[in-house]
Structure 1
Amino acid sequence: MVDLKGKGIIYEEDDEPIQLFDEDDAHTIREYRMSLIGKVLNPKKQNVEKLIQYMPTQWKMQDQITANDLGNGKFLFNFASEDDLQAVLKQGTLHYNFCMFVLVRWEPIVHDDYPWIIPFWVEISGIPLHLWTVKNLKNIGRKLGHVDTIELEAGRLLINVDTRKPPVFKKKVQSPVGEEVTIPIKYDLLFKHCTVCGLLTHEESYCSKKVEMMKAQTVKA
């Protein structure tokens, strides 16, 4: 007799990943060719269900976008036209409930952290005038992320920043004769982030690094 209640089933303690197969499904690729995949960075402050309801209205595209909650803080926006999709992408950094979220064009990528890139306009200052060149700005920008665009006169760079790492707010630069100076780095539209470790995934009150520092101080006392 078949055990319909599941009693007596022995489950193997096998932690090996189950193999998935790529069947080169062109239909699936076409289906998501006008989709943006996103991820909340601060799940304690950002509700995915509310976000995917709110943002299309914020963009005034509530009738042109459908949305799906993908679980694990990820979501999908499906667009009816390429123009609408590009209009959203051109807005650059995005936030909901005063916290950042990631939104990029969908690609067939499998990774727990995907997507993780946010484009930031970054302002550089403090470089000696005779060293204010595209090459030098690009070298600085490469330490922050992938450099997309450089506006030399304004000292601004559009940089794709990896949100898994804390933003860099200052860097030391060295002149050709060996003189060093520390330059500040300012991120446009950078919303809530941890002031202890710098990560965008939580605020100071939830920072594990802060807890460790407090424990260390208690032990010393």
Structure 2
Amino acid sequence: MDKKDNLEELMGDLDISNDKDEELVFDDEIDEVNNKFELCLVGKFLTEKNLNVRAMKSEMVDLWRPARGGNIKMLIMGLFLFQFYYKDDMQWMMNNDPWSFDNAILVTNTIPAGVDPTKVHLNEVELWIQIFDLPSEFISESIGKQLGNLFGSFVMYDQNNNTSIWREYMRIKIKVDVRMPLKRRKKICSKYRKECIVSCKYENLADFCFLCGMLTHTERFCKKKFDGEIDGLVRGWGNWLRAPSRRGRRKGGVSG
């Protein structure tokens, strides 16, 4: 028997059926996940227009003025990575949203460890809203939380808005699902069956569709209009949803 026959015989005795089940287990001292995106946000602008990326970068840097600098990089068309070098800079930017460029609102999210930034969900944006026509006895933080979850998802109640004797509206911060139309008014009822209809206005609201109430496009590009789903082009939304400017506001964000 020559060497070749000997080798084939030895190979025939090997069992490789369990190879695919073998695992490599790292030692405990080795970090399995290192989140290099810890000081990064991924985001997109809700618009059907082509963005002037250079102008956007310049304006965002001018608005945010990060103490230790930052970087903005396009990941894929329309999707951006916002990198900070100081945690407080990133936190300040997140606390003072919403931000916008060319009247297009910016939706951002953090990037969990081990997740591809291009796969992060960008479905919610935080907005301050003002609730009107609310009976004075209903103006409280507990009621605000319930109303916040009615108009979106409650985030924060502005206690400072209650300092004056006359309170024209309640002010709360909510998360808005950008896949849904903006909510305009709701009927509420107390345990004593006292009913009223409250309306809301959105602070620092960028472009949105007056036909379907979506933040993702304007009336000109409304798919429902093209598909004939809206009869007579009835505009159920309008500029009246925008709250008047508040003193002390910065361009692109809110004073809080």
For the aligned pair, the TM-score class normalised by the smaller chain equals 0.7 to 0.9
Q: Specify whether residues 44 and 33 from structure 1 end up closer, same or farther in structure 2 by C-alpha distance, changes over 3 A only.
A: same
Deviation, 1:52, is 3.4
Are the counterparts in 1 of residues 71 and 84 from structure 2 also a CA contact under 8 Å?
Answer: yes
Alignment of 1:41-80 (within 5 A): 41-48=46-53, 50-61=55-66, 64-80=69-85
CA distance in 1, matches of 2:105, 2:194: 37
Q: Secondary structure at the match of 2:151?
A: coil
Are the counterparts in 1 of residues 39 and 85 from structure 2 also a CA contact under 8 Å?
Answer: yes
Are the counterparts in 2 of residues 102 and 117 from structure 1 also a CA contact under 8 Å?
Answer: yes
Q: Specify whether residues 121 and 183 from structure 1 end up closer, same or farther in structure 2 by C-alpha distance, changes over 3 A only.
A: same
Q: Specify whether residues 199 and 90 from structure 1 end up closer, same or farther in structure 2 by C-alpha distance, changes over 3 A only.
A: same
Deviation, 1:87, is 2.3
Residue identity in the other structure for 2:152: G
> Which residue of the partner structure matches residue 198 of structure 1?
213
> Which residue of the partner structure matches residue 190 of structure 2?
175
Are the counterparts in 2 of residues 49 and 69 from structure 1 also a CA contact under 8 Å?
Answer: no
> Which residue of the partner structure matches residue 136 of structure 1?
143
> Which residue of the partner structure matches residue 155 of structure 1?
170
- From 11, 30, 44, the counterpart of 1:39: 44
CA distance in 2, matches of 1:112, 1:35: 14
> Which residue of the partner structure matches residue 18 of structure 2?
none
> Which residue of the partner structure matches residue 3 of structure 2?
none
CA distance in 2, matches of 1:133, 1:215: 38
CA distance in 2, matches of 1:34, 1:151: 28
Residue identity in the other structure for 1:155: M
1:210 aligns with 2:228: no
- From 191, 203, 207, the counterpart of 1:188: 203
The 10-residue stretch of structure 1 (78-87 or 101-110) with the greater mean CA deviation from structure 2? 101-110
Q: Specify whether residues 102 and 171 from structure 1 end up closer, same or farther in structure 2 by C-alpha distance, changes over 3 A only.
A: same
Deviation, 1:183, is 0.9
> Which residue of the partner structure matches residue 20 of structure 1?
none
The 10-residue stretch of structure 1 (195-204 or 47-56) with the greater mean CA deviation from structure 2? 47-56
Deviation, 1:84, is 1.6
Q: Specify whether residues 130 and 193 from structure 1 end up closer, same or farther in structure 2 by C-alpha distance, changes over 3 A only.
A: same
Are the counterparts in 1 of residues 48 and 221 from structure 2 also a CA contact under 8 Å?
Answer: no
How many residue pairs get matched? 193
- From 91, 102, 112, the counterpart of 2:96: 91
Q: What does the per-residue CA deviation read over 1:105-142, in whole Å, with 9 as the maximum and x for residues that have no partner?
A: 22255686722221111111212222333222211110
CA distance in 1, matches of 2:186, 2:196: 8
- From 96, 114, 122, the counterpart of 2:121: 114
> Which residue of the partner structure matches residue 14 of structure 1?
none
Residue identity in the other structure for 1:151: D
Are the counterparts in 2 of residues 79 and 85 from structure 1 also a CA contact under 8 Å?
Answer: yes
CA distance in 2, matches of 1:91, 1:43: 25
Deviation, 1:62, is 9.6
Deviation, 1:63, is 7.2
1:123 aligns with 2:118: no
TM-score by length of 1: 0.75
Specify the structure having the higher radius of gyration (Cα): 2
Residue identity in the other structure for 1:144: F
Q: Specify whether residues 215 and 80 from structure 1 end up closer, same or farther in structure 2 by C-alpha distance, changes over 3 A only.
A: closer
Deviation, 1:96, is 0.5
CA distance in 2, matches of 1:180, 1:102: 35
Percent identity between matched residues is 25
TM-score by length of 2: 0.66
